[in-house]
Amino acid sequence: MPQTLYDKIWNEHIVYQHDDGTTLLYVDRHLVHEVTSPQAFEGLRLSNRKVRKPNLTLAVADHNVPTTNRSKGIEDQDSKIQVEELEKNCREFGIEIFGMNDKRQGIVHIIGPEQGFTQPGTVIVCGDSHTATHGAFGSLAFGIGTSEVEHVLATQTLIQKKSKNFRINITGNLLTGVTAKDVILQTIGKIGTAGGTGMVIEYAGTVIENLSIEQRMTICNMSIEAGAKAGLIAPDEKTFKYLKGKPKSPKNENWDKAVEYWSKLKSDSSAKFDQEVEINGKDINPMVTWGTSPQDVVSITESVPDPEKEKDEDKKKSIIRSLEYMGLKPNTKITDIKVDRIFIGSCTNGRIEDLRDSAKIIKGKKVAEHVNAMVVPGSGLVKQQAEEEGIDKIFKEAGFDWREPGCSMCLAMNADKLNPKERCASTSNRNFEGRQGRGGRTHLVSPTMAAAAAIAGHLTDVRKFKN
């Protein structure tokens, strides 16, 4: 029977299957961070269990770490305890960890690929919903809860039921100035935040094929915002080239064997999908969210929606509530929205290409006077690479704050946060109420759009952008 890529990976990982389809699935790669793991390790200790395969787990602290000078350690006591707890747990259970001062430290979904820990055809899990990022390599990658983290640690497996197959084809080509972030925002706008519930999305089509690996990660990253279990993209030559020579990539004869196996990882041409959607690349514009859900999205050329035009009562109510929270009037042109803050970073858009692209926009320009802008590289290695290329100077000269790596203001668990009513153009993935700080107002955009907004002082169309 013809199979989808998801079917193939699933079938390869079945350890045991119950009659009703409930499956014990093998986990090849497990990533751990400080926020969702302490209770899992505590659970192991309480029941006197060991970690089954310590070498298949990699740990890093990212959510809580300060992005300013780290020489004094972490000021916030609770954050400090959590980070120390992770280090202690890893030592006790024999798990590799990149400590806060290790230059490989960074956001968990950035360091996995960077180290070659993320590989095609594997099952990858992490106690974090944006684990979907790793699907860009053709791996089945999904977020789990803390009880499941404990389950993986103890058994190297998970109890799962199979999801449905959903394919999204992005055909044709992208217009100039349109990025992977716009593709995924537009897709979520189209299918909605519950559009992928119970499904694994495979992204396909010429647009996807033409994207770099880093851009593919941006797309897969936000699959969770479409409600999907996971997002994935078939691996290809670009994938192999990206992984070649990475510290944890297969070596020598294992490399050849792996590539041979990885090359077969694609959906059969006659494979059946439970649902398919097609979007033409030329219909995608730079996108901006106006509300408090990632599906509240319009193109930069449009205006804030008018709830009066919405017939569905529930939706109307939710638009009114969002606009009130966001401090926006119906029908305001998106380009007339002034911003106070800029955040470039996160596991969606904190990689080297993101920094290069936004640096191109701001080069030789200055951040608008009323705007406070910051760049938080996704990892120590991204930061180092950017500094070697002189990108940090471009940002600093423009007036950006150049920070240490971590999740930072993507979720504002450390000191980086919006003040109430502050408005931010952010390259992260969630615009929920309070996500970037209580009362903070987030507009999700691509890195180049964020850079352009920093200079202009308001949301602006990067394609027409001139200072």
Partner 1 sequence: MKKFDILVGIPANLSMINIDTDMIIPKQFLKTIKRTGLGKNLFFEMRYDDNEKKIEDFVLNKEPYNNSSILLTGKNFGCGSSREHAPWALLDFGIRCIISSSFADIFYNNCFKNGMLPLILEQKKIDEIIEYSKRKQNIEINLTKQEIKFGNKLIKFTIDKFKKNCLLNGTDDIAMSLEKKEEIKLYEDSLKKNKPWIN
Which spans of this chain sit near ligand SF4 (rule: CB under 6 A)?
Answer: 62-63, 107-109, 128, 130, 346-347, 407, 410-411, 428-429
The residue from 119, 179, 186, 221 that contacts partner 1 (CB under 8 A) is 119
The token pair that represents 68 in the structure block: 């300013």
Whether 423 contacts 340, CB under 8 Å: yes
In the complex, least distance from residue 28 CB atom to ligand SF4, rounded to whole angstroms: 20
Number of residues counted as binding partner 1 (CB under 8 A): 72
Tell me: does residue 316 bind partner 1 (CB under 8 A): no
Which of 215, 36, 201 has the alpha carbon at shortest distance from 108? 36
In the DSSP assignment, the letter for residue 422 is: -
By three-state DSSP, how is residue 202 classified? strand
The CB-of-88 to partner 1 minimum distance in angstroms stands at: 10
* Residue 177: partners with Cβ closer than 8 Å, 6 or more residues away: 286, 448, 461, 462, 463
CA diameter of the chain: 64
Closest CA to 248 of 29, 433, 67, 441: 29
Rank residues 76 and 209 by Cβ distance to partner 1 and give the closer one. Answer: 76
Under the criterion CB under 8 A, does residue 39 sit at the interface with partner 1?
A: yes
Stretch 49-78: interaction string toward partner 1, x if CB under 8 A: x--xx-xx------xx-----------x-x
- Distance between CA 163 and CA 148 in Å, rounded? 17
Question: Tokens 């980086």 correspond to what residue?
Answer: 416
Q: Give the nearer residue to partner 1 in terms of CB position, either 296 or 353.
A: 296
Candidate list 28, 62, 114, 392; residue touching partner 1; CB under 8 A: 28
- Going by C-alpha positions, the residue among 176, 149, 114, 133 that lies closest to residue 31 is 149
Considering CB distances under 5 to 8 angstroms, the limit depending on partner class, which of ligand SF4, partner 1, none binds residue 115?
none
Distance CA 422, CA 191 (A): 29
Binder of partner 1 out of 7, 62, 150, 202 (CB under 8 A): 150
Q: Based on the shown chain and the rule CB under 8 A, indicate whether residue 42 belongs to the binding site for partner 1.
A: yes
**Among ligand SF4, partner 1, none, partner that 134 touches (CB below 5 to 8 angstroms by kind):** none
Tell me which of partner 1, ligand SF4, none is bound by residue 216, counting a contact when its beta carbon lies within the kind-specific cut-off of 5 to 8 angstroms. none
Chain position carrying tokens 């969702």: 36
| Residues 266-305 as x/- pattern, contact with partner 1 by CB under 8 A | ---------------------------x------------
* Structure tokens that stand for 156 in this block: 């190297």
User: Which token pair is 429?
Assistant: 């993935």
Residue choice 365, 435, 441, 458 for contact with partner 1 (CB under 8 A): 435
Residue with smaller CB distance to ligand SF4, 44 or 107: 107
